């Protein structure tokens, strides 16, 4: 029985010594500034959340991920977990419109890149303790297994894709992926863009800028099925843009798969070594 069941990923939190440089990267990436203080940068997408990416001023570091609790009761409950801090006041959301695209009689004319980021999708942690880390997230925040991946013996879990438990409601195939690594840290954080066009068009846009290191993509994952593209921020932290994920609900079940079948793309190049081994501490 999990302590609570989180609804979704809320934001990723990093540290960087230069908030101007970070804001420029995230603007090129497709986010919009929501707020800026002397010590922190808050960036948003087109969905109503006030922000989905926070950068605190400081030495480069991955601070963590934040998740939406279902309500204040759950927040109070999880605040009593070992190591948890007390509940603090929260910020009001800022709403925006989000008009669906209707194509009947309408010519396709794409907006200039970058396409705005819509929402944060998932966070990926590298860890030497996949089993223990995943167990904590399942027991504390109510994540459920979508796909566990093993190498060699079936007990040797090297990666675990987990989704939020929102009952009958359909959620992203994974909001949390934990993957084995010698060091603990951030592998990547991941953001949804409006559609597949946006993934490709903005891949070209970011490449043309010539300012950022490209990590991997474009391709389509097998597990989760997203069309993906991965870029590094100016301090080497990997940010993914994706469109078109699989959506599952609590009854969709869980799988156990060998790595050679699971960690492949449906099309696109294999992940480079530098991506597989990557963690930002």
- Residues in the site for Fe ion, rule: CB under 5 A? 190, 240
Q: Which two tokens stand for residue 191?
A: 């953001």
Residue for token pair 């190049």: 269
Q: Which residue, 192 or 240, is less far from Fe ion as judged by CB? A: 240
CB of 179 to Fe ion, least distance (A): 10
CB of 114 to Fe ion, least distance (A): 18
Q: Which residue, 181 or 190, is less far from Fe ion as judged by CB? A: 190
Q: Which residue, 69 or 174, is less far from Fe ion as judged by CB? A: 174
Q: Which residue, 74 or 224, is less far from Fe ion as judged by CB? A: 224
DSSP, residue by residue, 153-193: STT-EEEEEEE---TTS-EES-SEEEEE-SS-EEEEEEEE-
Pairing, β 255-258 against β 144-150: parallel
CB of 90 to Fe ion, least distance (A): 27
Q: Which residue, 46 or 190, is less far from Fe ion as judged by CB? A: 190
Phi, psi of 275 (to 5 degrees): -80, -45
Give the residue closest to Fe ion by C-beta. 190
- Give me the sheet containing 214-221, strands edge to edge: 255-258, 144-150, 157-163, 176-180, 119-127, 185-192, 238-243, 227-232, 214-221, 265-267
Query: CB neighbours of 70 closer than 8 A, spacing ≥ 6?
Result: 4, 5, 6, 7
CB of 174 to Fe ion, least distance (A): 8
The answer to whether the CB of 223 falls within 8 A of the CB of 273 is no
Q: Which residue, 114 or 217, is less far from Fe ion as judged by CB? A: 217
CB of 55 to Fe ion, least distance (A): 20
153: burial class by Cβ within 10 Å (0-12, 13-18, 19+)? exposed
CB of 189 to Fe ion, least distance (A): 8
């Amino acid at each position: 029985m999990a302590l609570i069941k989180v609804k979704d990923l809320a934001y990723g939190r990093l540290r960087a010594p230069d908030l101007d440089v970070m804001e420029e990267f995230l603007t090129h990436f497709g986010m919009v500034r929501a707020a800026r203080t002397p010590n922190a940068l808050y960036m948003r997408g087109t969905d109503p959340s006030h922000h989905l990416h926070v950068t605190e001023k400081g030495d480069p570091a991955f601070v963590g991920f934040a998740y939406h609790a279902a309500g204040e009761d759950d927040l109070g409950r999880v605040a009593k977990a070992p190591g948890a801090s007390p509940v603090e006041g929260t910020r009001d959301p800022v709403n925006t419109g989000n008009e669906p695209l209707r194509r009947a009689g309408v010519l396709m004319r794409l907006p200039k890149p970058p396409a705005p980021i819509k929402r944060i999708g998932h966070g990926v942690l590298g860890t030497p303790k996949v089993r223990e880390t995943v167990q904590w997230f399942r027991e504390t925040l109510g994540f459920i297994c979508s796909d566990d991946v093993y190498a060699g013996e079936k007990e040797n879990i090297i990666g675990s894709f987990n989704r939020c438990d929102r009952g009958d409601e359909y959620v992203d195939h994974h909001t949390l992926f934990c993957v084995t690594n010698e060091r603990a840290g951030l592998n990547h954080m991941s953001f949804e863009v409006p559609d597949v066009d946006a993934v490709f068009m903005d891949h070209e846009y970011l490449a043309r800028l010539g300012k950022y290191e490209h990590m991997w993509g474009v391709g389509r994952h097998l597990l989760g099925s997203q069309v993906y593209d991965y870029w590094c921020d100016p301090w080497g932290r990997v940010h993914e843009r994706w469109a078109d994920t699989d959506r599952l609900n609590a009854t969709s079940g869980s799988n156990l798969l060998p790595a050679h079948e699971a960690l492949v793309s449906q099309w696109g190049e294999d992940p480079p070594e530098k991506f597989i081994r990557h963690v930002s501490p």
